[in-house]
């Protein structure tokens, strides 16, 4: 067995149900993976085209997604839930904006890398298991406290304009790399898009 840690980049947004399902598929793959494997989260902003200057979401903004699109998305979520054995409190979270959650997570990733995985998982679970609004600072503070992070620092990170600019730069980098949707898994030159099953992740990584 090699001691070298293999790294997979994961572009994801917390409000994407397929990111949650893809993460669950990845966890199922990793339980069967003998080699050390590290996830390098890369943030992606699904709400960028609908966010007003004041930070609110314009749900009437045209993004090409109609009722038929959302109904198909729900069907796909239900199918993958059954396939991966994952229960979820909701199929879509179109009213939720994850920007604050991503900013908090980006701060934790930089300053408390050993605790980032727990925070990341707790944010996903808060939204998809408990139906909580992860755009709410109080919810994020609760999550930070639950995983042993300094709540005051996480609150400050959410309001940090410099950190917001850094995060937006990360979003731009993803777009320049050709990332158009999430989840996207990248390992070397290999790319897998969507909530792919463990067998496809094995092809990507092995």
The per-residue DSSP string of 118-138 comes to: HHHHHHHHHHHTT---TTSHH
CA separation for the pair 25, 198 (Å, rounded): 6
37: pLDDT strictly greater than 90: no
Mean pLDDT across 148-159: 98
What tens digit of pLDDT does each residue of 65-77 get? 888 999 999 999 9
Count the neighbouring beta carbons within 10 Å of the beta carbon of residue 200. Answer: 15
User: Taking the model in full, what pTM does it have?
Assistant: 0.93
CA separation for the pair 157, 180 (Å, rounded): 27
156: pLDDT strictly greater than 50: yes
Fold of 6-53+60-205: Glutaredoxin (3.40.30)
Mean pLDDT across 145-158: 98
CA separation for the pair 88, 65 (Å, rounded): 22
By three-state DSSP, how is residue 173 classified?
helix
pLDDT band at 1 (very low <50, low <70, confident <90, very high): very low
CA separation for the pair 192, 62 (Å, rounded): 28
Percent of the chain at pLDDT above 70?
99
Find out whether 159 and 141 touch, Cβ atoms under 8 Å. no
By three-state DSSP, how is residue 68 classified?
helix
Higher pLDDT, 162 or 49: 162
Least confident interval from 1-5, 25-29, 163-167: 1-5
pLDDT band at 3 (very low <50, low <70, confident <90, very high): low
CA separation for the pair 87, 78 (Å, rounded): 9
In this prediction, residue 65 carries a pLDDT of 83
| Domain spans in the chain, listed from the N-terminal domain onward | 6-53+60-205
If you average pLDDT over every residue of the chain, what do you get?
Answer: 93
116: pLDDT strictly greater than 60: yes
Find out whether 77 and 18 touch, Cβ atoms under 8 Å. yes
């Amino acid at each position: 067995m090699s001691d070298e840690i293999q790294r997979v980049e994961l572009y994801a947004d917390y409000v994407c149900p397929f990111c949650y399902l893809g993460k669950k598929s990845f966890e199922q793959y990793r339980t069967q993976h003998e080699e050390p494997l590290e996830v390098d989260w890369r943030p992606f902003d699904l709400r960028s085209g609908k966010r007003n200057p004041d930070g609110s979401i314009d749900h009437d903004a045209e993004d090409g997604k109609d009722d038929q699109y959302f109904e198909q998305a729900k069907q796909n979520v239900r199918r993958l839930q059954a396939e991966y054995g994952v229960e979820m409190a909701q199929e879509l979270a179109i009213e939720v904006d994850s920007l604050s959650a991503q900013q908090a997570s980006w701060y934790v990733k930089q300053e408390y890398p050993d605790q980032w995985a727990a925070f990341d998982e707790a944010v996903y679970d808060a939204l998809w298991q408990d139906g909580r609004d992860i755009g709410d600072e109080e919810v994020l503070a609760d999550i930070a406290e639950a995983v042993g992070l300094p709540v005051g620092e996480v609150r400050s990170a959410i309001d940090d304009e410099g950190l917001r600019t850094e995060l937006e730069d990360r979003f731009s980098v993803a777009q320049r790399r050709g990332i158009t949707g999430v989840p996207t898994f990248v390992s070397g030159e290999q790319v897998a898009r969507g909530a792919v099953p463990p067998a496809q992740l094995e092809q990507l990584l092995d």
